[in-house]
Amino acid sequence: MAILLGEILQSLELWLKLIKNPQPQPYVNPNLDPVLLVPGVGGSMLHAVDETDGSHERVWVRFLNAEYTLKTKLWSRYDPSTGKTESMDPNSTIIVPEDRHGLHAIDILDPDLMFGSDSVYYFHDMIVEMRKWGFEEGKTLFGFGYDFRQSNRLKETMDRLAAKLESIYNAAGGKKINIITHSMGGLLVKCFMCLQSDIFEKYVKNWVAICAPFQGAPGTIYSTFLNGMSFVEGWEQNFYISKWSMHQLLIECPSIYELMGCPNSHWQHIPVLELWRERRDSDGKSHIVLESYPPCDSIEVLKQALLNNTVNYNGVDLPLPFNLEILKWANKTWEILSSAKLPSQVKFYNIYGTSLDTPHSVCFGSGDKPVTDLQQLCYFQAKYVCVDGDGTVPIESAKADGLNAEARVGVPGEHQRILREPHVFRLLKHWLKAGEPDPFYNPVNDYVILPTAFEMERHKEKGVEVASLKEEWEIISKVQDDQSCTADKVCSISVSQEGANQSYSEAHATVIVHPDNEGKQHVQLNALAVSVDAS
């Protein structure tokens, strides 16, 4: 049945490709500096190339036949001699398609999906927006997809990125490149900056990191190792890959171990793995206690929990425990990342997500149902202790870049959907100078304060000095506030001061904020100051 559905799907995909009309390129600005988009974990389309006939099959992302494809083409084993995870299928090689100068692989991960498209849109909205600003694919707009199963410092990936930067630099006529990364892509680029610093400095002008887990995402990763991970949430996950199949894939992926975070990170609040356990005292009495394991100590828990984990491939059960060889590799990655230095000629910007409950620490079991066997942990539902963040990466981690940033701006939004936020688009447009510069734009608060009137009068007579001030502004916000007030807001302020020799000064000011009208808010300031010089 699954095979028949797969054949129907392939026929449907071909038909959809035939009826799609190419989108015309809008206005092109040849003066823009080139941009390279780098995705995070799971954010690159992957193809399997059959070694026998050279045929290509998209294996990430698919719906319907997704489980079968994942298990036959993407399930992997780690090779400690190379630091690379290799697919179990000896007849397949995993590659990233380079269509549209690398943009195809990071645009819509399943471009033929007719429903649930929100879950597979990655950089699509940003690409559309940047084309409106005048960026042109292959001239000033490029993408860098990669095999996200691999380590962020894998030499093969680092060499591909070096070649990509050189080719973009040449295609853009010798202009330096703006790199925009999302999520784990920030770790990959930071590794590259450490390992090939001369090439990074030669070709990169600005780097904008969005929702990067610079200090890891331990809450999410703890539960990933024990319970797996859903690629999408809600009803749509029924058409993709089960959490357990993802679990069996990710447990052999160096990139996931690298997302655990640096064991020597200086957290303001240390993330822990918590377990409700039954313990007996010296008298043999049973007690239920809550045990907390900080990052280093949690490794032993993960090791014991996954001690007998196996994966069935072609009818054979293969051991798949928590991989200490990968952990050793990941710790070396964090040593490299901790030594990162930003070249003086490169500007760095950091956008981090806020306003969502974000896993920080993870708890298994309860006072009523304690954990009695660590190997049963995989069957317990994780309960999170949350902090502020984007739902995946805590704010503290995202801000811990360790670099001399030009700006760090928090934007309310979910980890992936933040790539569609208008505030993010306006920040990028401002920083990349993709349009007429707006000296009145405030990137942090995302509004424009535009002075519209200024009058000041001053006169002095018989020791009394009087000054009056009238000033007006328009505050222009791109986001409409449905809860905005319909009446004027009035605020009055008075200050006074006594000086030497019976001198005296006082000032009165009134501020009127008028109701929002189509994204514009009018503000008036009227002030009067009187100073008496008794001498």
Find all residues with CB under 8 Å of 271, minimum gap 6, and list them. Answer: 218, 219, 261, 294, 295, 360, 361
Task: Tell me how many degrees the CA angle 71-5-18 measures, rounded to the nearest 5.
Answer: 110
Q: Which of 44, 76, 119, 183 is catalytic?
A: 183
Tokens of 281: 């005292």
Check if the beta carbon of residue 208 is closer than 8 Å to that of residue 179. Answer: yes
Task: Tell me how many degrees the CA angle 76-190-47 measures, rounded to the nearest 5.
Answer: 35
Tokens of 414: 């979910």
Check if the beta carbon of residue 142 is closer than 8 Å to that of residue 101. Answer: yes
CA proximity to 261, closest of 404, 164, 359, 136: 359
Q: What type of residue sits at position 147?
A: D
Find all residues with CB under 8 Å of 288, minimum gap 6, and list them. Answer: 276, 277, 278, 279, 367, 370
Q: What type of residue sits at position 367?
A: G
CA gap 128, 134 in Å, rounded: 10
Tally of helices (H runs) and strands (E runs) in the chain: 13, 23
Check if the beta carbon of residue 503 is closer than 8 Å to that of residue 530. Answer: no
Whole-angstrom CA distances from 404 to 75, 208, 209, 349, 407 are: 39, 12, 13, 9, 9
Helices 185-195 and 324-338 pack at an angle, to 10 degrees, of 70
Q: Which of 107, 390, 401, 446 is catalytic?
A: 390
Query: Is 183 tagged catalytic?
Result: yes
DSSP letter, residue 23: P
Whole-angstrom CA distances from 204 to 30, 174, 190 are: 18, 11, 12
Find all residues with CB under 8 Å of 411, minimum gap 6, and list them. Answer: 351, 352, 353, 354, 418, 421, 423, 424, 427
Find all residues with CB under 8 Å of 399, minimum gap 6, and list them. Answer: 214, 350, 352, 408
Query: Is 390 tagged catalytic?
Result: yes
Q: Which of 101, 182, 247, 415 is catalytic?
A: 415
DSSP letter, residue 284: -
CA gap 228, 278 in Å, rounded: 26
**N-terminal to C-terminal alpha carbon distance within the chain:** 100
Per the listing, tokens 């196996």 go with 310
Burial of 402 by CB count in 10 Å (0-12 exposed, 13-18 middle, 19+ buried)? middle
Where in the sequence numbering do the catalytic residues fall?
A: 183, 390, 415
